A and B are shown apart, each in its own frame.
Chain A
Amino acid sequence: MRASFTRRSLAVVTSYERCASITGSTTCAARVRTSPEEIPTSLFRFQEIRRRGPAKPQRSRYSSATSTWDPQSLATEGKLWEVDLTSGEGDGRRGVIQLAGPEAPKLVQGLITNDIIHLTGSKASLAAGFLTNKGRLITESVIIIATDAKEAPHGGPDKFFLDVPIDVKKGILRHLRLFKLRSKVTITDISSTARVCALVGLPHARVSDLERVREHWSARGAEVLGLGPDPRVILGDRFPLGIRGIIHFPDPSSPPSSLPSPARPLPCTQEAREALEALRFLYGVGEGPDLVERLPSECNLDLTHAINFHKGCYLGQELTARTQFKGVIRKRLLPVFLFPDSLPPPSSKLEADTQRPVQKLGDQLPPSNANPLAAPFLAGPPSPSPALAKGAEIIDEASGKAVGSLVSLATGSNLGLALLRLEPTLGAEQGVKLVARSLGAEGEKRQQQVLAFLPDWWPSGIDLATGKIPL
């Protein structure tokens, strides 16, 4: 099914329930090209709703068995984005902390929301959150097993890397050292010699592609210290956010020595960087300092496979477990598009065009488009009207009630992540017009329209009243 996305259908996407009842489907990923003058031809895709009962395996929807995944050939076709997340500027930068020693898994097990025991050679990466004892996020992290790790005496790998936002690295190092006490762990910040790199391709990577990626980076003279799929978004057997590696890319200009030489950045374009960011936003995956002090379930850590509700005690577990089993998640981090406020407000229902076949984001996209992933977001001016600041309040314009706030803003597109109350924004019978307001540098009011939607890959049937997936 395909729905044309016009001005008239703006209402629909802000009203998820409505849209589901009309089309019998849930909102899927969106491509939107914006220009200052209009909201032009855009494409919203719909996927079949998975009715309750035996779940249909997602595999059939997303796997294409035919494609070979070869970084070299994908790169020549322009379907590969390689990003060095440690270099560059801004919030998206990542640092690497290495933990090694027989008690390394034990130390981390008491501090993370996920179960480190599951980090093995065959499951080389885990998403996890570090929480305060009050249950708020210190940071999210991707944990990647070291290539040369062995099993520690009490289970778990004896060497692994924490891929953490560079801005919170100091805090997390402190946190680890605080709880280290006398345990046999060495905690090393290796951000100056190693870097976090991501390789995102179309079609999406699979676990079986890891070796090819290792060869790809090795062929370019890099030492691959750790490698795993980005564990946060999983579609069947595929990983849309690509493959993440902790690599050391030696600087040939420095004299050889026994010490690890300073790392050279992996060449990557700003476009690739922005494409990966846009993709992450579309999938509703928050990252970086924007999440600090927020609650893990509100930041979708439960949906991004970062919380294990079956493991033992960890710091901050009480609130996290209580929320899951007894409480409600009223707000969640949702992807949003920001539009100029001057455009007419949404007024009509969705008209779904069921005749045309769907093309899912991440499948083959028009061949005319050299950079199919990035282009829809990066084309045109990145921001249609004066930029809003992070933390801008989001208001239901009709009632004047605050429904959330803007948490993250993409650098190269009009995408953002907003912490929004689910019921009033997506559950409304009629579409609601959401606006984000913040003050500019000179105290002038800035306002933009906000269009929120549920990421397509979330399990269908998310209960808007409780924010949880009915069991």
Chain B
Amino acid sequence: MSLDEDVVVTNACIKRIKALQVKTGKENLKLRLSVEGGGCSGFTYTFTMEDGPVEDDDKVYGREGAQVVVDEGSLEFVRGSTVDFTEDMMRSAFAVVSNPLSESACGCGSSFAIKNFEKNPAID
């Protein structure tokens, strides 16, 4: 885990992706993190599993054959975050934790607001 990476992937996350690869039999299975508008704070994280090729504007993080893919547009909203796999009483799910750009988040953690909303380079 190197600190200069844009997105940090935890061991729990890597472990889960690998487990899913074994379970589905798709060696190439990747976790895609993207950011969409929506939710009570404005933006939501969406996680999807895919096994297609990586696209040109995608950035790839991870190790040991487990990959987390983030497109450039979404990266501007999650730069510096950690992608984790949380297991607690509430849910077992991939989650973005400690997003330095997130100003506030709603109770369930699936939606968040951005700091310096107006100056974000992702916004044209």
Q: Contact residues of A with B, CB < 8 Å?
A: 106-107, 109-111, 133, 177-183, 313-318
Contacts and interface: CB of A to CB of B under 8 A. Distances in A.
Given A177-B124, A178-B123, 15 more contacts: A110-B42, A133-B104, A177-B123, A179-B37, A179-B42, A181-B35, A181-B37, A181-B74, A182-B34, A182-B36, A182-B73, A183-B37, A314-B40, A315-B41, A317-B40
Contacts of B104: 133
Among A107, A133, A180, A314, residue most surrounded by chain B Cβ atoms (within 10 Å): A133
Contacts of A109: 38
B19 interface: no
A258 B37 CA distance: 35
B37 A313 contact: no
B40 A180 contact: no
A180 B37 contact: yes
Among B38, B39, B117, residue most surrounded by chain A Cβ atoms (within 10 Å): B38
Among A106, A182, A314, residue most surrounded by chain B Cβ atoms (within 10 Å): A182
A133 B118 CA distance: 13
A313 B40 contact: yes
A181 B36 contact: yes
Nearest to B106: A318
Contacts, number: 49
Contacts of B74: 181
B117 A178 contact: yes
B111 interface: yes
7 nearest A-B pairs in the assembled complex, by CB-CB distance: A179-B37, A110-B38, A313-B40, A317-B40, A133-B113, A313-B39, A315-B42
10 contacts: A110-B39, A133-B40, A133-B113, A181-B35, A181-B36, A181-B37, A182-B71, A313-B40, A313-B106, A315-B39
Contacts of A182: 34, 36, 71, 73
Interface string B38-50: 1111110000000
Among B34, B36, B43, B111, residue most surrounded by chain A Cβ atoms (within 10 Å): B36
Given A178-B117, A181-B73, A313 B38 contact: yes
A77 B71 CA distance: 63
Contacts of A179: 37-38, 42-43
Chain B's interface size range is 20 to 34
Among B36, B40, B43, B104, residue most surrounded by chain A Cβ atoms (within 10 Å): B40
A215 B124 CA distance: 41
A181 B34 CA distance: 10
Contacts of B111: 313
B37 A110 contact: yes
B36 A133 contact: no
Nearest to A321: B40
B36 A183 contact: yes
Contacts of A180: 37
Contacts of B37: 107, 110-111, 178-181, 183
Contact of B40 (A106, A178, A315): A315
B57 to A, nearest CB: 10
B104 to A, nearest CB: 7
Nearest to B35: A181
B40 A318 contact: yes
Contacts of B123: 177-178
Nearest to A109: B38
A104 B124 CA distance: 18
Among A107, A109, A181, A316, residue most surrounded by chain B Cβ atoms (within 10 Å): A181
A181 B124 CA distance: 10
Among A177, A178, A179, A317, residue most surrounded by chain B Cβ atoms (within 10 Å): A178
A183 B123 CA distance: 13
A249 B104 CA distance: 46
Contacts of A110: 37-39, 42
A317 B38 CA distance: 11
A182 B38 CA distance: 12
Interface string B81-124: 00000000000000000000000101000010100010000111
Contacts of A178: 37, 117, 123
B41 A133 contact: yes
A318 B41 CA distance: 9
A278 B100 CA distance: 49
A182 B37 CA distance: 9
A423 B123 CA distance: 45
Contacts of B106: 313, 318
Among B37, B111, B124, residue most surrounded by chain A Cβ atoms (within 10 Å): B37
A183 B73 CA distance: 12
Contacts of A313: 38-40, 106, 111
Contacts of A107: 37
Interface string B71-83: 1011000000000
Contacts of A315: 39-42
A397 B124 CA distance: 51
Contacts of A106: 38
A363 B39 CA distance: 44
Contacts of B43: 179
A308 to B, nearest CB: 14
Nearest to B120: A178
A316 B39 CA distance: 9
B59 to A, nearest CB: 15
A106 to B, nearest CB: 8
A253 B43 CA distance: 47
A110 B37 CA distance: 7
